[in-house]
Structure 1
């Protein structure tokens, strides 16, 4: 893959600072952590780190740690011998071997088990590991880039991430700004995505956006960041009625509908409102402390989710559509033991 295929666009001060930091970090061979909210472009930064590095001609291997069950992730990373576990057929090299002399990008690294973290630590310190089902020590020369959207120091303080591994990985930490802190880049990115999709669907040219639509793009907070912006722009161009007039309508939430099914968790909260278990006045009497109100609401959701799942944290995390580490972080944030 060529770095030219991975276009990173922007001109805001926050963006340019990250690009400069990335270019500097690319020159050394040590691990790097890329931190950022969902949709901020962590994979693009990891790719840039590799292709600007002395390892650019070697393999750039990517693993989404959250996409594999705990019992299969170690086999994916370190490989296995025939019969190492139920269902394993034949010998298989792992991603550390595949990435020898190159770069291994561990996306969602916060979701790895403590057992896998211990083995990753050994690779970072000594460059050695063993395949599952083997006693033979193998050597590899790999640069590790880890990425996550959670606060790793907090996870380490809670015992869910190894402090020693965090220390090894955190030689360089690149924290990506969310799109709401890159306001200058919203229109630049929107035109880039608009031109690209217009070309794909056969338009002669891209007519741009109306002033009202630009105002709407600039005033939105973009919780899904660049990925959400890309989806919104593609949807707007697809459904534009005239390719020769500026695009003037967007749909920020494609799920918006009076017939949308209620989320189970919201049904629970509404029932508790009716039962008097959660007091929310029909008419607010100001002034209202917004942050305190949000904090109380979040705390109520967490406590109710724990109660309904008999205080099983893993089940409560699934109930709230969070991963386990995100739930633990929220519990600590709200001082819920």
Structure 2
């Protein structure tokens, strides 16, 4: 990302998002580590870029890396480098990301996926600014500001022993939590207009004619589990599919896979037993069409069946509880009662759903 891209205005007028930008402006000048927490597609990398380019390190390197992209051995090599012959396939020496970021900022996304051993090595870099390349005992000193990001509850991961508490303490000089798009209703149409105008420009059109009232309602009513990234994809697709340059967007297609000819899984197949994820921290269970074998625990079997239906409806409704209730022929409050009964609704999810339904 170059300087011009990084300094592009981040659109948003919701009070909770403006508070985030204010917090970014306050902590940016300090060469302190910052954690950025947010759901997928919420804009964690944009916030990291803003922290870097508003700091005194703005003219120095800004290095970005996703820690979930590689296995432990390759991740260690990517971050800290290696010497020739350090491991099989390491024919030549490699400079790591921390060396490349010397004097500047490094942004590590999905920190929670890093092993405890690498977390210990990362702690040493944050604490003392030093490390060794893989296969070498030579200590390398660097001056790097670390920005980390995660879409999981890091304190909970630390309590469970999956994340080092001392590293969490060291990284959390400040923690910036980005509100999901469903909690920034004021920003949805603002961002949609920006993405639509950008797509119209790519298509060589003079202007974007706008969204019809029905399309606006769809955009505002949807919960956007993929946040800003999903909104951008949906809007750009809608503009791309317009037949005429001056045509208003009347139809919003939230699911590009939806079709009467869409392949359906047969009962008993692996596809039919595919899990429906309910978000971070949830244990995904299979939704299956197969009949359970007798004898069985009747109450447990009924609970499993109802839970499967609830998960399936939520998945098909893209996590809109109002829509899921309609799919199951239930009232909204009946659905909420079942979600509570089977502990499929935690406090955070419940608050978000209730506010969206009002």
Find the counterpart in structure 2 of residue 131 from structure 1.
133
Find the counterpart in structure 2 of residue 164 from structure 1.
166
Correspondent of 1:265 among 273, 277, 281: 273
| 3-state SS, counterpart of residue 66 of structure 1 | helix
Cα displacement (A) at 1:255: 1.6
Q: For residues 294 and 230 of structure 1, do their structure 2 counterparts lie closer, same or farther at Cα, with a shift above 3 Å needed?
A: farther
> Deviation per CA, 1:156-179, whole angstroms, max 9, x where unpaired?
000000000000000010000000
Which structure 1 segments of 5+ residues have no match?
Answer: 300-337
Find the counterpart in structure 1 of residue 211 from structure 2.
209
| 8 Å CA contact 1:59, 1:101 repeated in 2 | yes
Cα displacement (A) at 1:265: 2.9
Q: For residues 4 and 37 of structure 1, do their structure 2 counterparts lie closer, same or farther at Cα, with a shift above 3 Å needed?
A: same
Task: After TM superposition, list the pairs within 5 Å mapping 1:181-330 onto structure 2.
Answer: 181-258=183-260, 259-262=262-265, 263-266=271-274, 268-271=286-289, 277=301, 278-280=304-306, 288=334, 290=336, 292-293=338-339, 296=342
Q: For residues 239 and 58 of structure 1, do their structure 2 counterparts lie closer, same or farther at Cα, with a shift above 3 Å needed?
A: same
Q: For residues 12 and 283 of structure 1, do their structure 2 counterparts lie closer, same or farther at Cα, with a shift above 3 Å needed?
A: closer
Q: For residues 59 and 291 of structure 1, do their structure 2 counterparts lie closer, same or farther at Cα, with a shift above 3 Å needed?
A: farther
Correspondent of 2:65 among 63, 66, 71: 63
Structure with greater contact order relative to length (CA < 8 Å, sep ≥ 6): 1
Which structure 2 segments of 5+ residues have no match?
Answer: 266-270, 276-285, 310-327, 346-358
Give the Cα separation in 2 of the matches to 1:295 and 1:113. Answer: 35
Correspondent of 2:154 among 140, 152, 155: 152
Give the Cα separation in 2 of the matches to 1:181 and 1:94. Answer: 38
Give the Cα separation in 2 of the matches to 1:32 and 1:46. Answer: 9
| 3-state SS, counterpart of residue 34 of structure 1 | strand
Find the counterpart in structure 2 of residue 97 from structure 1.
99
Q: For residues 295 and 145 of structure 1, do their structure 2 counterparts lie closer, same or farther at Cα, with a shift above 3 Å needed?
A: farther
Give the Cα separation in 2 of the matches to 1:9 and 1:286. Answer: 33
Q: For residues 231 and 284 of structure 1, do their structure 2 counterparts lie closer, same or farther at Cα, with a shift above 3 Å needed?
A: closer
Give the Cα separation in 1 of the matches to 2:106 and 2:202. Answer: 32
Cα displacement (A) at 1:251: 0.4
> Deviation per CA, 1:50-78, whole angstroms, max 9, x where unpaired?
00000000000011101111111011101
| 3-state SS, counterpart of residue 269 of structure 1 | coil
Which stretch has the larger CA shift, 275-284 or 81-90? 275-284
Q: For residues 226 and 87 of structure 1, do their structure 2 counterparts lie closer, same or farther at Cα, with a shift above 3 Å needed?
A: same
Cα displacement (A) at 1:193: 0.2
Task: After TM superposition, list the pairs within 5 Å mapping 1:33-52 onto structure 2.
Answer: 33-52=35-54
> Deviation per CA, 1:141-192, whole angstroms, max 9, x where unpaired?
0000001100100000000000000000000100000001100000000000
How high is the TM-score relative to the length of structure 2?
Answer: 0.78
Count matched residues.
299
Give the Cα separation in 1 of the matches to 2:75 and 2:337. Answer: 39
| 8 Å CA contact 1:78, 1:130 repeated in 2 | yes
| 3-state SS, counterpart of residue 265 of structure 1 | coil
Give the Cα separation in 1 of the matches to 2:190 and 2:238. Answer: 16
> Deviation per CA, 1:189-215, whole angstroms, max 9, x where unpaired?
000000000010011211011111111
Give the Cα separation in 1 of the matches to 2:247 and 2:329. Answer: 44
| 8 Å CA contact 1:3, 1:47 repeated in 2 | no
